[in-house]
Structure 1
Amino acid sequence: MLRSRRPEEIKKEKMNVYAITFLLSILVNVIGGYSIYLFSLPAYLDTVGTILSGVLMGPVIGGVVGLISGLLLSVLVNPANLYFTPINILIGIVTGVIFRKYYFTLKNIILTAVLVIVFSVILGTLIEYFVFGGFAGKPLVMITEGLVSAGIDLIIAVKISNLFTNILDKFLSFAFVFLIISIMDNYEIIELFNLKIK
C-alpha cells in the first residue's frame, strides 16, 4: 500500500515507473510500426504506446511519446512517417486530456476511439492526398490502388482506405491498451498514475 510509505519513497517509485512506461511506450510504437510496414498489413499499430502513455501519464507525456515515436519511425522505417507525426502527437494529447477528466471505462474507451478515428481519417486523408498524391505507406497504397483500379475517384479512394485502416488500427490499439491496463490493474498502479478506474 502506498499510504504506508514515506512521500519521498512514493515520489521515487513514481518517477521510476513513469520513466519505464515512457520508454516502453516508445518501443511499443516503433516495434508495432515496423512490424506492420514489414508485413504490409492494413493497420499502423504505431500509436499503442502513445495511447497508453496518454491514458496513464497525461496529455503532455502522451504528446511527447507521439513526437519521439514519429521521428524514430521516420528514420528507422519510412521517411513518410514524419508527415503523419502530428497525428500521433494529437492522439497522445487527446487521450491524455479525456482520461485525466473521465473514468477509464469501456464506454469512454469506445467513444475516444471513435473520436480519434474521425480526426485521424480527416488529417490522414489530407496529408496523404496533398503531400503524397494519394499514395503513402504500404497498406494504404494497396487499398487505394485497388479502389482506383476499380474506377473510384482518387480522393474518394483515399478517404475509404484511410477510414478502413483507421477503424481497424485504432480499435486494435485501444483494445491492446485496455488489455495492458487490465493486467496492471491494482491499487498501487492506479494511485501512481492517478488513473480513474471504476
Structure 2
Amino acid sequence: MKTTAPRLTMIALAVTLNIVLGNLALFLRLPIYLDTVGTIFAATVLGPVAGIITGLCSALFTGVTTDLFSLYFAPVQLCVGFMSGVLLHNKKASWSLPLKALLITLPGTLVASLITVLLFGGITSSGSSLLVQVIHGLGVNQTLSVFLVQIGTDYLDKLLAVSLVISAVKALPRYRQIGS
C-alpha cells in the first residue's frame, strides 16, 4: 500500500468514524456495535491493508480512551478489515450484499465469541450481553449462548455497516483516485 496524504487522510477519517459510531452504540447500549463502519469503508476504498490498519488504530485508541474492552477485541477488527478488503475492494456487485456481509461477519464472530467466553465469561460492555444472559438463563451453556447472540448481532451490525459503506462509496464519484 502506497502511503500518500489522501490515503492517510481517508484512514484517519475511517478511524474517527469507528470511534464516534462505536462510542455512540456503547453509550446507547445498542445490541449492535457500529465500530467497524470505518474499517469496512477503508478496506472497500483502499484495500485490506488499509482496513487492517484502520481497525487496529481504532481498537487501540478506543481501548485507551473510552472502552478498555476494545483492546481485547482488536483481532476482530483485523478480521473485518481483511475480509472486507478481500470481498469489497475493487469488486463489482457480483454477490449479494447479505452473503458478503455474512462472509465478513463469520471470522470475526468466531474470534469475538472465543474472546468473550475465555476472557470475560460472556459479559462485555455492549448491550448484547443482556441477550447472552437471557439465553444462558434459559439453560443454554455459556459458550453457545455467546455464539448465538454474537452471530446474530454481528451479522446485523455488518449488514448495516456494509450497506452504509456501499451506499457511501457509490455516492463518491472520485474515490478511485484515492484508492489507486
Match of 1:174 among 159, 162, 172: 162
Correspondence list, 1:60-139, <5 A = 60-100=49-89, 103-105=91-93, 107=95, 109-139=97-127
Structure 2 SS opposite 1:107: coil
Unaligned runs of 5+ in 2: none
> Which amino acid is 1:189 matched to?
Y
Computing the radius of gyration over CA atoms, which structure comes out larger, 1 or 2? Answer: 1
State the AA in 1 paired with 2:141: D
Shift of 1:77: 2.2
My pick for the range that moved more, 72-81 or 165-174, is 72-81
Q: Structure 1 length normalisation: TM-score?
A: 0.82
Identical pairs, percent = 26
| 3-state SS of 1:165 partner | helix
Following TM superposition, the consecutive aligned residue runs of length 4 or more in structure 1 with deviations greater than 4 angstroms are: none
Deviations 1:51-104 (A, max 9, x none): 11011111111111110000111122211111110110121122223334x524
- Unaligned stretches of 5+ residues in structure 1: 1-10
> Among residues 142, 145, 148, which one is paired with 1:157 in the alignment?
145
Find the aligned partners of 1:50 and 1:20 in 2 and give their Cα distance.
Answer: 14
State which drifts further: 71-80 or 91-100. Answer: 91-100
Q: Is the contact made by 1:37 and 1:77 (CA closer than 8 Å) also made in structure 2?
A: no
Question: 1:164: how far off?
Answer: 1.4
> 1:143, CA displacement in angstroms?
0.8
Conserved in 1, the CA contact under 8 Å of 2:75 and 2:111?
no
8 Å Cα contact 2:43-2:81 kept in structure 1: yes
Partner deviation per Cα, 1:115-174 (whole Å, 9 max, x = no partner): 121112211111101111111123121111111222222112111110111111010110
Structure number having the greater helix percentage: 1
Structure 1, 102-111 or 70-79: larger mean CA deviation: 102-111
TM-score when scaled to structure 2? 0.90
Seen in structure 2, the aligned counterparts of structure 1 residues 106 and 29 have a Cα distance that, compared at 3 Å, is: farther
